[in-house]
Amino acid sequence: MPQKRATTYHIVKPGDPHPMGWTVPPVNDLRSAIELLKTLPGQYIETDREVDPKDELAGVYRYIGAGGTVMRPTRIGPAMTFNSIKGYPGSRVLVGMLASRERVSALLGAPVRELGVQMAQARQNVIPPVVIDRKDAPCQEVVYRADDEGFDLRRLLPAPTNTTEDAGPYFCLGLVLGSDPDDRDNVDVTIHRLCVQSKDELSIFFAPGRHIDAFRQKAEAHGKPLPVSINMGLDPAIPIGATFEAPTTPFGFDELCVAGGLRGRPVELVECLTVPQWAIARAEIVIEGEILPNVRVAEDQNSKTGKAMPEFPGYTGDANPSLPVIKVKSITTRKNPILQTLVGPGEEHVSLAGIPTEASIYLECHDALPGLVKNVYAHSAGGGKFLAILQVEKKNAGDDGMTRQAAMTALAVYRELKNVILVDEDVDLFDTNDVLWAMQTRFSGDLDTIFVPGLAGHVLDPSQTPEYDPRVTAKGTTTKTIFDCTVPFHLKKHFVRAQFKEVDPSLWAPSLFGKDSV
C-alpha cells in the first residue's frame, strides 16, 4: 500500500465545502476538468482542423494562450484541445489546462489571489492515496505491451515537439511515480523532461536534488532497474500538488497527499500491469517502465540539434550528452485517451511551479514571522521559480528588519528562487505596474538592495554559468538579490497613497461589471 499518514479526514464530495473553506469543484480527472471549463466563458476551445504535433501544435498555441516567458507575441488565453492529430487517427492533445490563474481558481476552488494560501492549507492537511481494484481503474481500459508484435510508442502516442530545434518529441506533462528501492511505500512523484528515443525507450532529465533521482542512484548502485510509471492526463490537483519541493515536501514525503488535501479525498492508485509500481487510476495515459542501471544516451542522439526543448526561463536548453534511459514495458490508456502537454516556457509552467512556491514561502514565513507576510506571488517573469513578490504589513519599527528577514527566509525555503521584491500592504503584488511603482517611489538602489552571492540556484538559468560570471565555479550558482520596496516604518505617514471616494462603479458602467443596465 502507498505511504500512510497519521491523519483523519472526512471525504468531501464534489460541490461540497472543504473543511478549510473552499468549495470543491466537481473534478476528479482530466475529463471532468474539461467539462467544468466548458461551462466557463472563454476558458476552453476545441478545433477539428488537423495539426502536426511536430512544431506546429506548439506554434499554434503560442498565439492562442501560451503566455509566460514565451517570446512575444503571445498571450494568456483558453485551454485548447486538438481533435485531429496528423499521423495519429483518433488521438487528441490538450494544451494549456492550467495556463491562467483564473482557470486554476475554477479547477481548485479558491479565489485567484488566495491560491497560494489554499495550497499551503492543503499541505498542512494532507490525505494519503489509496489503492483500488484494477477493474475500477479507467487508465487500464486499453493495454499495449512492449513485447507485442509491432509495439512502437512513437506510433501510439503523439508526443509533440515545441520547436524545430527540439532534440525529439517530448512528453512535457508526464508525472513520474517512483519508490525507494528498499521501501516501496516511500513514494515520490515529479514532472520530468521525457524525450522519446526509440520505439520503447525514453530519456529522462533530472534537475539536481530530485528525489526520484536519489531512488535511481540507489537502485543503480546495486545494478538494479528502478520501476516507474509515467502518468499523463490527470485531475489538475495532482500535477500542481506534485510540484512542491524540499524542504516543504522533504525526502520521504508523498506529494500525492497534497492533491488529496486539495480535494478532500484521496488520490486513487492501481497496481501496474508489467512493473512493481503504482499508477494513477484515473489517468488518461500511463507508461510503465524501468529506469535502466548504468545506461546513458545523448538527449539529441536522433536529431543532432544540440538542443533539448524550450524551458521555463524562455530559452531552449542544450541537449544533455548523457541521460538515464527508461525502458518501456507497456502503455495503458483510457478509451479514446487525451494526451496532455504544455508549452515549456508558458504560463502553465508558472501555475504548476509558482503556486506551490507561493505556498512554501507563505508557510515558512507564517511560522517564522507570524502576521508579517500577507501574501506571496511567484511572478510569471521568473517562470514561477526565479522571482517572488512578498507583500508585508509592518506594525512597528522592528518590522523593518523582519521584512528583510522574510526575504531571506524565502530564499532559504526555495532554493531555485533568485530575486525577491518586498512591497507594502497597499501595493497590489499581482499588478506588475503597481510593484514597479513601489520600486520607483519607495526604493533607493544603494540603500534598499541586498546581494547574497555564491548561492545554489537553477541550472536552466543561462546567467548562472562560469561563462557569464567568472566568479561562479559551477553551473547553477548565482547571486541572489532582495529589492526592499517598502516604506521605513517611521515614514509610513509620509507615503500614504491618494485616497479616493468609495463608490459602486457598476451604477455608471454596468456592462463593465457584468450587470444589466437599469
Q: Is the pLDDT of residue 2 over 50?
A: no
Q: What is the pLDDT of residue 8?
A: 53
Residue 5 confidence class, pLDDT cut points 50, 70, 90: very low
Element (H, E) at 238: helix 237-241
- The long-range contacts involving 445-453, CB below 8 angstroms and separated by at least 24 positions, are 448/483, 448/484, 448/485, 449/481, 449/482, 449/483, 449/484, 450/404, 450/407, 450/481, 450/482, 450/484, 451/479, 451/480, 451/481, 452/408, 452/411, 452/479, 452/480, 452/481, 452/482, 453/479, 453/480
Q: Is the pLDDT of residue 7 over 70?
A: no
Q: Where are the alpha helices (DSSP H) in 264-395?
A: 347-368
* Strands 44-47 and 79-82, sheet pairing: parallel
Q: Is 345 helix (H, G, I), strand (E, B) or coil?
A: coil
Q: Does pLDDT of 431 surpass 80? A: yes
With H, G, I as helix, E, B as strand and everything else as coil, classify residue 295.
strand
pLDDT of residue 15: 73
User: Averaged over 201-220, what is the pLDDT?
Assistant: 94
SS3 content of the chain, % helix, strand, coil (to 5): 25, 25, 45
pLDDT category at 10 given cuts 50, 70, 90 is low
**pLDDT value at 86 more than 90:** yes
Helix (H, G, I), strand (E, B) or coil at 472: coil
Which H or E element spans position 240?
A: helix 237-241
Q: Which cell numbers in the block locate residue 482?
A: 532582495
Element housing 220 (H / E): helix 211-221
Report whether pLDDT(398) > 70.
yes
* Per-residue pLDDT at 174: 97
Residue 119 identity (one-letter amino acid):
M
Domains 30-348 and 369-494 share a fold: no
Q: What is the pLDDT of residue 312?
A: 94
| DSSP, res 301 | T
Q: What is the pLDDT of residue 4?
A: 37
* Tens-place pLDDT, residues 457-507: 999 999 999 999 999 999 999 999 999 999 999 999 999 999 999 999 999
- The mean per-residue pLDDT over the stretch 320-325 comes to 98
Residue 348 has pLDDT above 90, yes or no: yes
Alpha-carbon distance of 267 to 132, in angstroms, equals 10
Confidence tier at 441 by pLDDT (50, 70, 90) = very high
Please report the pLDDT score of residue 20 as a whole number: 79
pLDDT at 517: 57
The model's pLDDT over 240-295, given as tens digits with 9 standing for 90+, comes to 999 998 888 888 899 999 999 999 999 999 999 999 999 999 999 999 999 999 99
Given pLDDT bands bounded at 50, 70 and 90, which one contains residue 370?
very high
Using DSSP bridges, classify how beta strands 387-392 and 278-280 pair: parallel, antiparallel or unpaired: unpaired
- pLDDT digits over 109-126, tens only? 999 999 999 999 999 999
Q: DSSP 3-state assignment of 315? A: coil
Of all residues in the chain, the percent with pLDDT exceeding 70 is: 97
Residue 107 is predicted with a pLDDT of 98
- Between the alpha carbon of residue 335 and those of residues 31, 90, 282, 283, the distances in Å are 12, 10, 12, 11
Catalytic residues: 311
Going by C-alpha positions, the residue among 459, 478, 501 that lies closest to residue 411 is 478
Q: List the grid coordinates of 422.
A: 518586498
Predicted local distance difference test score (pLDDT) of residue 22: 87
Between 209-213, 340-344, 411-415, 513-517, the lowest mean confidence (pLDDT) is in 513-517
Contact of 185 with 256, CB cutoff 8 Å: no
CB 106 within 8 A of CB 25: yes
CATH code for the structural domain at 369-494: 3.40.1670.10
Which of the four pLDDT bands, split at 50, 70 and 90, describes residue 210? confident
**How does residue 3 score in pLDDT terms, banded at 50, 70 and 90?**
very low
Q: What is the average pLDDT score of the chain?
A: 95
Q: Which pLDDT does position 393 carry in this prediction?
A: 98
CB 385 within 8 A of CB 378: yes
User: What pLDDT is stored for residue 218 in this prediction?
Assistant: 97
Q: Which CATH architecture has domain 30-348?
A: Roll (2.30)
In this prediction, residue 208 has a pLDDT band, given cuts at 50, 70 and 90, of confident
Domain ranges for the chain, please list them. Answer: 30-348, 369-494
CA distance 230 to 213: 14
Q: In the predicted model, is pLDDT for residue 70 greater than 80?
A: yes
Q: Does residue 518 surpass a pLDDT of 60? A: no
Mean pLDDT of 304-318: 96
